[in-house]
Amino acid sequence: MDSLSQISLIKRDLANDLGLMGPSYDLQMMVAGGNETKKTKEKQVTFRLESLTNDFVTPPIEAVTIHQINSNFEGVPHDPSNTNHYLYQ
């Protein structure tokens, strides 16, 4: 649910557990390295998120179901102690 992304994704199992329904959606994505994923039959679902205190509800969020959000990519080694960065509070 990245506001600058081209598509929002939700795990298929979670969408099913929540009873989210929607029209069929053929999903195929371009991924790192210019590769493409296999086309899969998914659903386009709509939902809202609500704060635990019930004082905030998001506008409707449209997302496409997917079996797995990430692949088994190896992590990129990163040592934050060797990085010039600032924490703003």
Domain boundaries along the sequence of the chain? 9-70
Q: Helix or strand or coil: residue 76?
A: coil
The predicted structure's pLDDT at residue 85 = 57
**What residues in the chain have per-residue pLDDT under 50?**
88-89
Say if pTM beats, i.e. exceeds, 0.95: no
Sign for the CA dihedral angle at 37, 10, 7, 22 comes to: positive
For 8-65, give the DSSP string. -EEEHHHHHHTT----EEEE--EEGGGEEPPPEEEEEEEE--B-TTSS-BPPPEEEEE
pLDDT at 80: 67
Give the model's pLDDT for residue 26: 94
**pLDDT at residue 18 in the model:** 94
